[in-house]
Structure 1
Amino acid sequence: MSDLSHSLPPPRLRSLFLLCFKIGILSFGGGLTGWLYQGFVLQQRWIDEDDFASSLAISQMLPGANVVNLVICMGEQLRGPIGALSCVVGFLVGPFFAVIALCQVFDALAGFALLPAISDGVAFAAMGLLVVMCIHGLRRAMRFPPSVAIVVVTAFLVGVLEMPLIPVVLVLAPISVALSWRRA
């Protein structure tokens, strides 16, 4: 963790739970990683950008839902196993009941013409948060030019040449780690 994170007292379990509950209940339609970045890094400043990026990378390598893995990683980093539990319960309990309720609402409003526009608006807001997170990540990557090269090569191989992501990552990840290791 950064010096900033060490100088601040760890967040209370209640605060972790409430932030994760708020993000879990308000962020339907994707963009959860962006909301987590906004809450943990930009608003609360509990975790710095480097620690968030590391937690995100780890969470994407683990089996299961990336965002659930991410809240577990950040909760554990901030308050240990009980912090991880607080974050994951806060993150999942609201959406669990909200999905059941929304299913009933969507069934009742199925003929309402404005419903697609509302759900599109929520999805576009989530995409905007994801773009902001990508911009911050690129700014962070610009501090170390070889990381920009890894990003560009990955985007080209997967996005343009349509190569499968897993083999690309299996080849480029060790190169990226070696470059970062030499830097440290």
Structure 2
Amino acid sequence: MTEDPQRLPLEPASLTALFLVCLKIGLLSFGGGLSGWLYREFVERHRWIDADDFASSLAISQMLPGANVINLVVCMGEQLRGPAGAFAGAFGFLVGPFFAVIGLSAIIDRITDAGPLQAALAGVAAAATGLLVVIGWHGLRRASRHLSGLVVVAVVAVTVGLLKWPLLAVVACVAPVSVALRWKRKGGPDAG
């Protein structure tokens, strides 16, 4: 049985390590599922951030304009090392793919039969989907500790996923309720 990453002490992150981890994720990932990779590296493998802080950073990054994963990297980098950490993480995450896309575009221009390439990309997409399922499972498991958290997750899933209501409108209505429930569970303003 492995130890729960929530219970292990957090480790400090150097700017170099932050850059290299983000560079690796940026180079080795494609498409969706990046938040799952970031969770594995930042929470489970390096123990720089705990699962609750990761979930908070993920929620904030999804509400900000722009690419969610870049917002997440910037948010966690800033949390770990301030503005320099935000820059190191974002630069590491973007510099590798920038040059990889330029190189791949030159290669793809020369390939006439792209069947094997399409099969490889389908495999990458399947792996990314699996990582998204894992991060969703962790969030659902955390929310299921309290009935109120599970209800909030269900309301968001139904209104956005099934009823196709706009995400920002749902978040604007559900977020204050979620914060109030958490505040009440922690004991209100007198909790230490």
Same fold, judged at TM 0.5 (above): yes
* Matching residue of 1:89: 91
Cα distance, 1:13 vs. partner? Answer: 0.9
- In structure 1, runs of 5+ residues without a counterpart are none
Partner in structure 1 of residue 154 of structure 2: 152
Separation of aligned partners in 2, 1:4 and 1:144: 25
Q: Deviations over 1:12-59 (max 9, x none)?
A: 111100000000111012211111111101111111100000111111
Of 110-119 and 148-157, deviating more is 110-119
Query: C-alpha offsets along residues 88-116 of structure 1, whole Å, 9 cap, x if unaligned?
Result: 11011001111111111222224132221
Counterpart Cα distance in 2 of 1:133 and 1:93: 25
Residues 1:142 and 2:144 aligned together: yes
Q: How does 1:29-108 map to 2 (within 5 A)?
A: 29-108=31-110
Aligned residue in 2 for 1:4: 9
Distance apart, 1:3 and its partner CA = 8.1
Question: Helix, strand or coil for the counterpart of 2:113?
Answer: coil
Structure 2 counterpart of 1:180, from 182, 185, 188: 182
Contact 2:63 2:168 in 1 (8 A): no
The count of residues paired between Structure 1 and Structure 2 equals 181
Gaps of 5+ in 2: 1-5, 187-192
Output the TM-score relative to the length of structure 2: 0.89
Give the distance between the partners of 1:127 and 1:109, measured in 2 at CA: 27
Displaced runs of 4+ in structure 1, greater than 6 A? Answer: none
Q: TM (normalized to structure 1)?
A: 0.92
